[in-house]
C-alpha cells in the first residue's frame, strides 16, 4: 500500500459541560482528523487526541499537527507498506510525538481494513492470529470530572448509573477528602468504582491513600508524578488496592519498569499515548505475560477515536471495562453519523468494513473545504 494524499481537518468540539481535568477546565476541545488516501482511492481516518495544553502528557494538539504536517507526512510518499505493523515500525522511527504517530497509524488500520473488506475489529483479531468470532459489544465505564461538593458528585454518579454505565471512574485531586470518598462509597457500596488522580499527588500523601485503601476501589489510577516509577512502587507496597499506571506508560521500557520495580499492577492502555494500535497490542501482550492487568482508556474522543477504542477494547486481551462513553456524553455535536449508545452497560462495536463510521453532514462539509495535499 502506498499513501498518495492526505488532509488534516480541525474540528472545535464544544463540550456540553466544562470538563475539569487536573489544573485545567476545558469548554471546547480542538481535535484534528487526519485522512490518508491510498493509491486505490481508499480513505482512512485517524484522530489527533492530544489535549490543547500539555496537562495530561507533554504533548499538545497543535504541536502534533505541526509535526505531522512538516516532518512525518511528507516522508510517506516514497514508502510502501504491506501490513499495519510495518507502518508502525516506520512511523516509530520518525521519533515524532506519540499522539501524532498514533493518528497516522489509526488511519492505516482503517485503510488496510477497507482494502481487505473487513472491519478494523476483525483485522486486529487476525493480526493477533485469532480466527475465533469477534465480540459484538464491549462493557464500558465512564469517567466523572472533578466536582466541588460531595452531593454534586453523588448526583452525577447516580445519573451515569441510570444511563447504564457499569463502571464509574472518579477523577480526583488533593482537595478531595477521605470523608468525601467514604460518603460516596456509603452511597454506592457495591458499585464497581475506581479513582484517577492524574499525577496530582505525592508520596507525602501516603496516609490519604492508606485511609481509602479499605473503600473497595477497583484501582487507584496514576496517583503520583508522571515518569515516577520508584515512588509508585513504594506506594503500591503499602496498599492492598491495585495501582494503575496511565501517564507513565509510553513504550515497552516503561512496561518493564513496572514489572521490575513492581510499580503497579494494572495498565491503562491508550492507543494515542503509545503511538498507535500496533504498539498498544504489543505492550498489552507484554504486560499480560508478566501478570499485569490491562484495560483500554479514553481521551474524550470524537466518534472516530471512539470507534478505534471499541475495536481495541473488544480484543480478548481486555477484561476490565474501558473508558469508552456513549456518543452523547461529552460533546454537543459529534462528527460521525453512527450513534454509540449504552445498552446494559455495553456499546456495540462497529462491524462494517474499515472503521465503521462515516463523517456526518456537518463534518463532511468541513472536510470538503480542505484540499488534499499530494505527497
Which three three-digit cell numbers place residue 200?
496530582
Where does this chain touch Mg ion (CB under 5 A) — which range of 213-221, 325-333, 345-353, 363-371? Answer: 213-221
If the CB atoms of residues 38 and 246 are measured against Mg ion, the closer one turns out to be: 246
Which three three-digit cell numbers place residue 219?
484501582
Where does this chain touch Mg ion (CB under 5 A) — which range of 3-11, 219-227, 286-294, 332-340? Answer: 219-227
Q: Which residues contact 152 (CB under 8 A, 6 or more apart)?
A: none
Where does this chain touch Mg ion (CB under 5 A) — which range of 30-38, 158-166, 244-252, 306-314? Answer: 244-252
Which of the following is catalytic: 37, 135, 147, 171?
A: 171
If the CB atoms of residues 196 and 254 are measured against Mg ion, the closer one turns out to be: 196
Q: Which residues contact 248 (CB under 8 A, 6 or more apart)?
A: 222, 226, 227, 228, 229, 232, 254, 257, 258, 263
Q: Give the separation between CA 337 and CA 56, rounded to whole angstroms.
A: 29
Contact 340, 306 (CB under 8 A): yes
Which of the following is catalytic: 270, 289, 339, 346?
A: 270
Q: What are phi and psi of 106, to 5 degrees?
A: -60, -45
Size of the site for Mg ion (CB under 5 A): 3
Kindly state the smallest distance separating residue 132's Cβ from Mg ion, in Å.
31
Kindly state the smallest distance separating residue 98's Cβ from Mg ion, in Å.
15
Kindly state the smallest distance separating residue 141's Cβ from Mg ion, in Å.
12
Binding mask 278-317 for Mg ion (x = CB under 5 A): ----------------------------------------
171 catalytically annotated: yes
Considering only 246, 254, 301, 334, the residue that binds Mg ion (CB under 5 A) is 246
If the CB atoms of residues 305 and 356 are measured against Mg ion, the closer one turns out to be: 305
If the CB atoms of residues 46 and 298 are measured against Mg ion, the closer one turns out to be: 298
Element at 178 (helix H, strand E): helix 178-187
Kindly state the smallest distance separating residue 178's Cβ from Mg ion, in Å.
21
> What are the C-alpha distances in Å from 112 to residues 3, 102, 281, 353?
11, 15, 17, 10
179 catalytically annotated: no
| Interface positions, 163-202, toward Mg ion (CB under 5 A) | 196
Cα 266 from chain centroid (whole Å): 15
Kindly state the smallest distance separating residue 9's Cβ from Mg ion, in Å.
27
Q: Give the separation between CA 61 and CA 36, rounded to whole angstroms.
A: 18
Where does this chain touch Mg ion (CB under 5 A) — which range of 75-83, 86-94, 220-228, 334-342? Answer: 220-228
Q: Give the separation between CA 29 and CA 51, rounded to whole angstroms.
A: 7
| Interface positions, 63-102, toward Mg ion (CB under 5 A) | none
For binding to Mg ion (CB under 5 A), which residues are involved?
Answer: 196, 221, 246
Residue numbers annotated as active site: 171, 270
Amino acid at each position: 500500500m502506498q499513501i498518495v494524499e492526505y488532509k488534516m481537518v480541525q474540528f472545535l468540539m464544544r463540550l456540553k459541560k466544562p470538563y475539569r481535568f487536573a489544573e485545567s477546565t476545558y469548554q471546547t476541545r480542538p481535535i484534528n482528523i487526519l485522512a490518508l488516501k491510498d493509491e486505490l482511492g481508499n480513505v482512512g481516518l485517524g484522530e489527533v487526541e492530544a489535549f490543547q495544553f500539555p496537562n495530561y502528557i507533554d504533548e499538545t494538539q497543535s504541536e502534533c499537527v505541526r509535526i505531522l504536517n512538516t516532518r512525518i507526512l511528507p516522508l510517506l510518499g516514497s514508502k510502501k507498506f504491506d501490513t499495519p505493523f510495518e507502518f508502525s515500525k516506520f512511523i516509530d522511527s520518525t521519533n515524532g510525538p506519540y499522539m501524532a504517530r498514533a493518528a497516522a497509524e489509526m488511519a492505516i488500520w482503517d485503510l488496510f481494513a477497507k482494502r481487505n473488506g473487513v472491519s478494523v475489529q476483525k483485522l486486529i483479531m487476525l493480526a493477533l492470529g485469532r480466527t475465533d468470532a469477534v465480540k459484538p459489544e464491549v462493557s464500558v465505564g465512564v469517567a466523572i470530572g472533578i466536582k466541588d461538593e460531595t452531593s454534586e458528585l453523588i448526583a452525577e454518579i447516580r445519573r451515569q448509573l441510570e444511563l447504564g454505565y457499569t463502571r464509574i471512574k472518579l477523577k480526583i485531586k488533593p482537595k478531595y477528602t477521605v470523608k468525601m470518598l467514604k460518603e460516596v462509597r456509603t452511597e454506592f457500596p457495591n458499585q464497581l468504582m475506581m479513582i484517577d488522580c492524574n499525577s496530582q499527588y505525592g508520596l507525602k500523601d501516603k496516609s490519604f491513600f492508606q485511609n481509602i485503601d479499605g473503600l473497595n476501589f477497583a484501582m487507584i489510577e496514576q496517583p503520583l508524578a508522571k515518569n515516577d516509577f520508584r515512588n509508585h512502587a513504594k506506594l503500591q507496597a503499602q496498599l492492598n488496592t491495585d495501582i494503575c499506571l496511565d501517564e507513565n506508560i509510553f513504550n515497552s521500557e516503561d512496561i518493564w519498569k513496572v514489572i521490575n520495580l513492581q510499580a503497579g499492577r494494572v495498565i491503562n492502555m491508550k492507543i494515542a499515548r503509545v503511538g498507535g494500535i500496533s504498539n498498544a497490542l504489543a505492550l498489552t501482550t507484554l504486560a499480560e505475560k508478566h501478570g499485569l492487568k490491562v484495560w483500554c482508556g479514553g481521551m474524550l474522543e470524537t466518534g472516530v477515536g471512539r470507534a478505534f477504542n471499541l475495536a481495541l477494547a473488544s480484543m480478548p486481551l481486555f477484561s476490565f471495562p474501558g473508558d469508552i462513553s456513549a456518543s452523547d456524553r461529552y460533546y454537543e455535536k459529534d462528527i460521525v453519523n453512527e450513534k454509540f449508545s449504552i445498552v446494559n452497560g455495553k456499546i456495540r462495536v462497529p462491524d462494517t468494513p474499515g472503521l465503521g463510521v462515516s463523517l456526518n453532514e456537518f463534518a463532511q462539509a468541513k472536510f470538503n473545504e480542505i484540499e488534499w495535499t499530494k505527497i
